[in-house]
Structure formats: C-alpha cells, structure tokens
C-alpha cells in the first residue's frame, strides 16, 4: 500500500500535492475554454487592496484588475502606476481631467494607449515627458498619435535619437507644440493642485533634466520625480510629501538621506522591471527607504498599482 493510500483504498493528498493538482485543473479549464476572461477571473482575486496608516481616505490596489473602466468625471483622485517593466508611466485622473507622466519604452506604447482607453480616457489634459530617455518617452508617440492631448510638457534639452524624433513627429502631426515649464509653475488636474519643483537644461545629464511635479489633493501630497537624482535634491527645500514615486527606479544615485528626511513619505512607489540589468532598486537605497518605516510597493512585484483617494467627508 502506498504512503498516500489509506486502509479503505482511498487516497489522502498532502497540501503540496493538493495545491499542484488544483493548479493543473485550473490551467486545463483556462486552456480548454480559451479564456482570457476566465484567467482574469482567477488572477483578479490575487490583487491586494489595502489602506495606508496615516493616509485617510486613500487605498492602494495592485494587479491587472486595477486597470478598469471608471467614472472619469467623479471627484475621486486616481493615480495609476502602470507596470511597464524597467520604465515609467503614470496616469492621474480627477474630476474630468487627466495627466500622463511618461509612457514607458518604445515597446510599451500600445500597452499604455490600451490602458488609458480601458480606463475611459478619451482626452489627456496634460502629457509630461519628464526627460528624453527611451524608458520615459518611448511610448509617447503612440499616445499622442492615438489619443487627443492638450498641453505637452517636456524639458528644453533635446537628443538626436530616433525615439525622440518619433515623439517630435507625433507632436508636429497633431499640430501641437512643446511647453517647457519653469520651476514654480502651477496648474490643476481637476481639483488636484500641481507645482513644478525641478527642471534643468543639461545635455550632459538627461536624468537631471527631469520635470519633477508635486501634487496635492485634499490634504495628501504626491511627488513624481522622473529620473531626478541627488544633484537635483539640494536645489531647494522640499516640503513634507506623503507619496513618493522613487527617483530613477530606486537607483543609488537618487533619494539621498537628507532629501528623504525632508519629505518623510508614508508611501513609496518604485517602478522597475523584474531582474533588470541595472539591479534597481539598489539595496542601499532600499535601506534608506526602510528606515522611514514607509509602506513600499514595486511594479516588479505587484504589477500595476492604483492609488485611489476619496474626498474627505
């Protein structure tokens, strides 16, 4: 008699074996019915929805199920950190207006467009190309070609890459112009108030040219840093900020201890790719983040990340 067979001739499966059998059954069902819908139904349950201590009316949801149709005219702030691998792409939606910050690599353009349309956006009020590196502006030409856009923010610094030229061609085809913002410029996305905190014109260091935007909505603040590095950080005194998009994918060249102590975030989002060649996020940077006791989410671990903030009652 085998170890799993009892005296009655039936079998008792241990937990590991049972999980394996159930996994095989699920895969066979999905394969038989062909179904992305079935697969999504199973994976939707693996998402995480959680609250963050000290940030009332804010929840974080992860997983592909977070990219779904919404009421874009509702006065609820939605901040999407799209999973575009070793790249950045962020969408902000509030009260009928929207802002896209970066659009991933060249190969991510179709995905970013698909996500925007799936959410229900047919016009982007603002499009921001933080700086002319492919992992930030690679998909912008797709977005500009396929979606109605309003103001386009980019730094003055240019490059001669095909990626950059493709973006310029898309802008020209739409008869649009680039607006180069200045530090201190303010604008609104719905009821969210935004301010440009940093931008440079430096052809020797494109990361340093990153447009850094601070946003505040109903008492909670957000910082979108592009690939800004330590050299950008001493340029000003930084106000306390609740949610930080980690600079340069969590590289050791960003997020100095002094900068982090000034902004003292409660929530940190890192956009990076699984097993990326750069080793992002670097361990020494993670050590600095962890000293803050902030909650940390990473796109390489969680996939798409959605922050939802409702107005205070």
Express each pLDDT in 78-99 by its tens digit: 999 999 999 999 999 999 999 9
pLDDT given for residue 164 in this prediction: 98
Express each pLDDT in 170-216 by its tens digit: 999 999 999 999 999 999 999 999 999 999 999 999 999 999 999 99
pLDDT given for residue 24 in this prediction: 58
The DSSP bridge partners found for residue 295 are: 267
Express each pLDDT in 252-271 by its tens digit: 999 999 999 999 999 999 99
Q: Is the pLDDT of residue 45 over 60?
A: no
Average pLDDT of the chain, as a whole number: 89
Residue 10 pLDDT class (50, 70, 90 cuts):
very low
pLDDT given for residue 94 in this prediction: 98
pLDDT given for residue 50 in this prediction: 85
Residue 40 pLDDT class (50, 70, 90 cuts):
very low
Q: Record the pTM.
A: 0.85
pLDDT given for residue 14 in this prediction: 55
Q: Is the pLDDT of residue 11 over 80?
A: no
Query: Domain residues of the chain, as ranges?
Result: 1-46, 47-309
pLDDT given for residue 134 in this prediction: 98
Express each pLDDT in 207-246 by its tens digit: 999 999 999 999 999 999 999 999 999 878 999 999 999 9
Which burial class, exposed, middle or buried, applies to 19 when counting CB atoms under 10 A from its CB (0-12, 13-18, 19+)?
Answer: exposed
CATH number of 47-309: 3.60.15.10
The pLDDT of 139-156, averaged and rounded, is 98
The pLDDT of 135-151, averaged and rounded, is 98
Express each pLDDT in 274-293 by its tens digit: 999 999 999 999 999 999 99
Q: Is the pLDDT of residue 41 over 60?
A: no
């Amino acid at each position: 008699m085998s170890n799993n067979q009892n005296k009655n001739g039936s079998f008792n499966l241990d937990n590991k074996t049972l999980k394996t059998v159930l996994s095989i059954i699920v895969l066979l069902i999905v394969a038989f019915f062909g179904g992305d819908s079935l697969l999504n139904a199973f994976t939707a349950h693996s998402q995480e929805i959680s609250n963050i201590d000290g940030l009332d009316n804010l929840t974080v949801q992860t997983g592909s199920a977070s990219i779904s149709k919404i009421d874009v005219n509702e006065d609820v702030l939605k901040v999407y950190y799209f999973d575009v691998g070793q790249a950045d792409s962020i969408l902000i939606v509030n009260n009928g207006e929207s802002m896209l910050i970066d659009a991933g690599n060249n190969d991510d353009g179709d995905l970013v467009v698909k996500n925007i349309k799936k959410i229900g956006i047919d016009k982007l009020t603002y499009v921001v190309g933080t700086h002319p590196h492919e992992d930030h502006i690679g998909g912008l030409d797709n977005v500009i070609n396929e979606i109605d856009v309003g103001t386009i923010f980019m730094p003055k610094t240019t490059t001669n890459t095909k990626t950059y030229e493709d973006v310029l061609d898309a802008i020209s085809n739409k008869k649009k112009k680039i607006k180069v913002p200045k530090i201190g410029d303010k604008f609104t996305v719905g009821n969210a108030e935004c301010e440009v905190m940093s931008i440079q014109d430096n052809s020797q260091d494109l990361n340093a040219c990153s447009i850094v935007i601070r946003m505040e909505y109903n008492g909670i603040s957000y910082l979108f840093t592009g690939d800004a590095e330590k050299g950008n950080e001493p340029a000003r005194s930084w106000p306390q900020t609740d949610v930080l998009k980690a600079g340069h994918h969590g590289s050791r060249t960003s997020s100095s201890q002094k900068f982090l102590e000034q902004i003292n975030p409660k929530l940190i989002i890192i956009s990076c790719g699984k097993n990326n060649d750069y080793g992002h996020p670097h361990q020494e940077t993670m050590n600095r983040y962890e000293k803050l006791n902030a909650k940390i989410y990473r796109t390489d671990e969680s996939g798409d990340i959605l922050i939802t903030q409702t107005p205070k009652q």
